[in-house]
C-alpha cells in the first residue's frame, strides 16, 4: 500500500471501522444513516469491506441483520475465513455497547477514506507530471478532474422534513417582505430593467439563466448592460461607500480590452464607432474619463482566457467566492458563451459535450448559491419563419440547455428583418421560467453606445446616432 509514499501507512482508523460494523449489528436501524456516508471501499481493512458488503446484501434482500445471518452470508460467499471467522464477528459485536454512535464513527471512516483518495490522486498527479506524457494544460485539467471526483464522492445527502423546509421557506418570505416598498418587486439581483425585473423578480440565486439569440443580435451587449447595471446601480451609501457586488464575466469570444471599451462607451454614452476610428472630441474624452472613474470602483472581474473548460471556470468562481466571503461572496457569474466552453472529453458526441457543460453550469449555480448567466446561440430555424422569432426549440446543439436552464431569455431585434431604418427595439422573450410566468418585454436599443434602456416609445434611431 505504499504507492511511493515511503512505506508510510495510509490514514485509517480501525477502531472507528469496528465501531461502524458493531453499531450496525447492535442496531440495524442505523444502517440507512451509515449508507448515506459509506461505500464498502471506504473501509481500509479488506475484511471490513467484505463484512459491510455482506450487510448491504442482507439489507437489499430485506433479510434480518444479525450475527447469525451475517455469518451464513459470509459463509455462502466463501469469505468467512477471509474476514477472521466467527470469532472476529463476535469481536465486532463486542466492540461497542450500542449502535447509537454508528453515524459518528462512519464520519471518521469517511474522512479517512477521502484523505487516502487524495493521497492516491496526488501520487498519480506527481507520477504523470514527472513522466510528461501529456501537455501541461492536459495534466492540470486531469489533476483538477481527479480532485473534483473526490470532492463529489464525499458529498453527503441531506434529507429534511417538510416541516423544516416550510420553516426555511417562511424565513425567505420574511426576508423578501422585509424590504422597503421600492424593492418589493425584486427578490433577486436586479437587472436594472423595470419590466424584466417585474417578470423575473430579478436574477435568482442558485439559478441558471440562459440568454439566447442569433449571431449579431446583441447577446454580449445585453449581458454587459446587465452587468453594468449590477455594478453601478448600487446604493453605496448603505454599504459603507463600497463599490457594487463582485461579479465575474468570463469571455470566450472577446478580449478584456474590447469588453472594457464597450463598458466605457455604454456608461459614457459615447459613440463606439468614434472610439474605434479615434475621432473623439474633447467632450467625448471627458465623458469617457468620468465613466472610467465610475467603473474603476466596480468589483468586476474579466477573464478572457481562450479555451476555458467548466472545471477551470468553476475553480475561478470558487476562488473569487472565497476572496470576497467577508462581503457576502461573488454575486453573479456571466459566461459568453456556452458553446465555446471546452468539453472535458473531445471524443464525446457534440450533443453530449454540450449536455455535460449545461449540467455543470447548473451545478455551479447551485453550489455557489448565486445566479449563473450563460449566453447561447440559436440555430437558423427562426430565419425561415415569417416573424423570425427564435423559440426554445432553436437552442443550438442540445435540448439539455432548455432542460437544465431555470430561465431562458431569447433576444429578438425585429428591425433587422422588417426592412426599416428603425432598429432601436430589442424584444426580450422570457421563453421559460421554472418558478414564474413567461412573457415578453421591450427595451430601447441605443446602437451607437451598445446600450439598452427601459423602453421609451418615442425614441427613434438614425444611422449616424441619436
The pLDDT score that the predictor gives to residue 418 is 62
- As a whole number of angstroms, the distance between CA 448 and CA 466 comes to 8
Q: Look-up: residue for cell 504523470?
A: 128
Give which of 306, 241, 300, 304 is closest to 267, Cα–Cα: 300
Q: 78-81 contacts: CB < 8 A, separation 24 or more? A: 79/50, 79/54
The pLDDT score that the predictor gives to residue 185 is 58
The pLDDT score that the predictor gives to residue 335 is 93
The pLDDT score that the predictor gives to residue 309 is 81
Contacts of 319 (CB under 8 A, 6+ apart): none
The pLDDT score that the predictor gives to residue 43 is 94
- As a whole number of angstroms, the distance between CA 364 and CA 34 comes to 28
253 is catalytic: yes
What are the cell numbers at 212? 439566447
Please state whether 465 falls in left (phi above 0), alpha (psi between -120 and 50) or beta.
left
Look up the pTM and report it: 0.66
The pLDDT score that the predictor gives to residue 462 is 42
What are the cell numbers at 291? 465613466
The C-alpha torsion from 327 through 329 and 335 to 339, rounded to 10°, is 180
| Active-site position among 253, 327, 427, 453 | 253
The pLDDT score that the predictor gives to residue 397 is 62
Domains belonging to the chain, first-starting first, are 14-153 (1.10.860.10), 179-454 (3.40.50.300)
Contacts of 328 (CB under 8 A, 6+ apart): 245
What are the cell numbers at 209? 439563466
The answer to whether the beta carbons of residues 428 and 443 sit under 8 Å apart is yes
The answer to whether the beta carbons of residues 230 and 190 sit under 8 Å apart is yes
Task: Give the strands of the sheet with 425-433, arranged side by side.
Answer: 300-303, 247-251, 332-336, 372-377, 208-213, 407-412, 425-433, 439-446, 451-454
Give which of 64, 84, 61, 66 is closest to 26, Cα–Cα: 66
- As a whole number of angstroms, the distance between CA 232 and CA 286 comes to 19
Strands 451-454 and 208-213 come out as: unpaired
- As a whole number of angstroms, the distance between CA 340 and CA 254 comes to 12
- As a whole number of angstroms, the distance between CA 423 and CA 463 comes to 9
What are the cell numbers at 2? 505504499
Give which of 450, 451, 454 is closest to 442, Cα–Cα: 454
The pLDDT score that the predictor gives to residue 426 is 85
The answer to whether the beta carbons of residues 356 and 349 sit under 8 Å apart is no
* CB-side neighbour CA atoms (13 Å) of 455: 11
Per-residue pLDDT of the chain (466 residues), as tens digits, is 344 444 467 889 999 999 999 999 999 888 888 887 888 989 999 999 999 999 988 888 888 899 999 999 999 999 999 999 999 999 999 889 888 898 899 999 999 998 998 898 888 889 888 988 878 877 877 787 777 777 766 655 555 666 666 676 667 666 656 555 444 456 788 888 888 988 888 899 999 999 988 887 888 999 999 999 888 875 443 344 455 789 999 988 888 888 888 888 888 888 887 778 777 788 878 888 888 888 888 888 888 887 788 877 887 888 888 888 877 788 999 998 788 888 877 777 778 888 888 888 998 898 888 999 999 888 777 666 776 778 787 776 667 787 888 999 998 887 776 655 557 888 898 988 888 888 898 898 888 888 888 887 654 444 443 3
The answer to whether the beta carbons of residues 230 and 331 sit under 8 Å apart is yes
C-beta atoms surrounding 110 within 10 Å: 21
Amino acid at each position: 500500500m505504499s504507492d511511493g509514499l515511503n512505506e508510510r501507512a495510509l490514514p485509517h482508523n480501525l477502531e472507528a471501522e469496528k465501531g461502524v460494523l458493531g453499531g450496525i449489528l447492535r442496531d440495524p436501524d442505523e444502517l440507512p444513516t451509515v449508507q448515506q456516508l459509506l461505500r464498502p471501499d471506504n473501509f481500509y481493512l479488506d475484511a471490513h469491506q467484505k463484512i459491510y458488503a455482506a450487510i448491504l446484501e442482507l439489507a437489499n434482500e430485506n433479510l434480518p441483520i444479525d450475527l447469525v445471518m451475517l455469518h451464513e452470508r459470509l459463509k455462502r460467499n466463501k469469505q468467512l475465513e477471509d474476514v477472521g471467522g466467527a470469532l472476529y464477528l463476535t469481536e465486532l459485536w463486542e466492540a461497542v455497547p450500542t449502535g447509537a454512535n454508528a453515524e459518528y464513527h462512519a464520519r471518521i471512516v469517511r474522512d479517512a477514506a477521502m484523505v487516502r483518495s487524495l493521497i492516491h490522486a496526488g501520487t498519480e498527479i506527481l507520477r504523470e507530471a514527472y513522466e510528461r506524457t501529456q501537455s501541461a494544460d492536459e495534466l492540470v485539467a486531469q489533476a483538477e478532474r481527479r480532485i473534483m471526483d473526490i470532492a463529489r464522492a464525499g458529498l453527503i445527502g441531506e434529507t429534511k422534513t417538510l416541516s423544516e423546509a416550510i420553516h426555511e421557506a417562511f424565513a425567505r418570505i420574511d426576508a423578501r417582505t422585509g424590504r422597503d416598498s421600492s424593492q418589493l418587486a425584486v427578490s433577486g439581483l436586479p437587472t436594472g430593467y423595470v419590466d424584466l425585473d417585474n417578470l423575473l423578480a430579478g436574477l435568482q440565486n442558485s439559478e441558471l439563466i440562459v440568454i439566447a439569440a442569433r449571431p449579431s443580435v446583441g447577446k454580449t451587449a445585453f449581458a454587459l448592460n446587465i452587468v453594468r447595471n449590477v455594478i453601478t446601480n448600487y446604493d453605496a451609501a448603505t454599504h459603507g461607500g463600497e463599490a457594487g457586488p463582485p461579479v465575474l464575466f468570463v469571455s470566450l469570444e472577446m478580449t478584456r480590452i474590447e469588453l472594457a471599451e464597450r463598458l466605457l462607451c455604454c456608461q459614457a454614452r459615447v459613440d463606439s464607432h468614434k472610439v474605434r476610428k479615434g475621432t473623439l472630441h474633447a467632450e467625448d474624452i471627458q465623458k469617457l474619463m468620468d465613466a472610467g472613474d465610475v467603473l474603476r470602483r466596480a468589483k468586476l472581474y474579466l477573464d478572457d482566457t481562450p479555451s476555458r473548460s467548466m472545471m477551470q471556470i468553476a475553480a475561478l468562481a470558487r476562488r473569487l467566492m472565497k476572496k470576497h466571503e467577508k462581503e457576502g461572496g461573488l454575486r453573479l457569474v456571466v459566461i459568453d458563451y456556452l458553446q465555446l466552453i471546452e468539453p472535458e472529453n473531445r471524443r464525446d458526441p457534440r450533443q453530449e459535450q454540450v449536455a455535460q457543460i449545461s449540467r455543470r453550469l447548473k451545478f455551479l449555480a447551485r453550489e455557489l448559491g448565486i445566479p449563473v448567466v450563460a449566453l447561447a446561440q440559436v440555430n437558423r430555424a427562426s430565419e425561415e419563419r415569417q416573424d423570425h422569432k427564435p423559440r426554445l426549440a432553436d437552442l443550438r446543439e442540445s435540448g439539455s440547455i432548455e432542460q437544465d436552464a431555470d430561465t431562458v431569455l431569447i433576444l429578438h431585434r425585429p428591425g433587422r428583418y422588417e426592412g426599416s431604418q428603425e432598429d432601436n427595439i430589442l424584444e426580450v422573450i422570457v421563453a421559460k421560467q421554472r418558478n414564474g410566468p413567461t412573457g415578453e418585454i421591450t427595451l430601447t436599443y441605443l446602437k451607437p453606445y451598445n446600450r439598452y434602456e427601459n423602453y421609451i416609445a418615442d425614441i427613434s434611431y438614425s444611422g449616424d446616432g441619436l
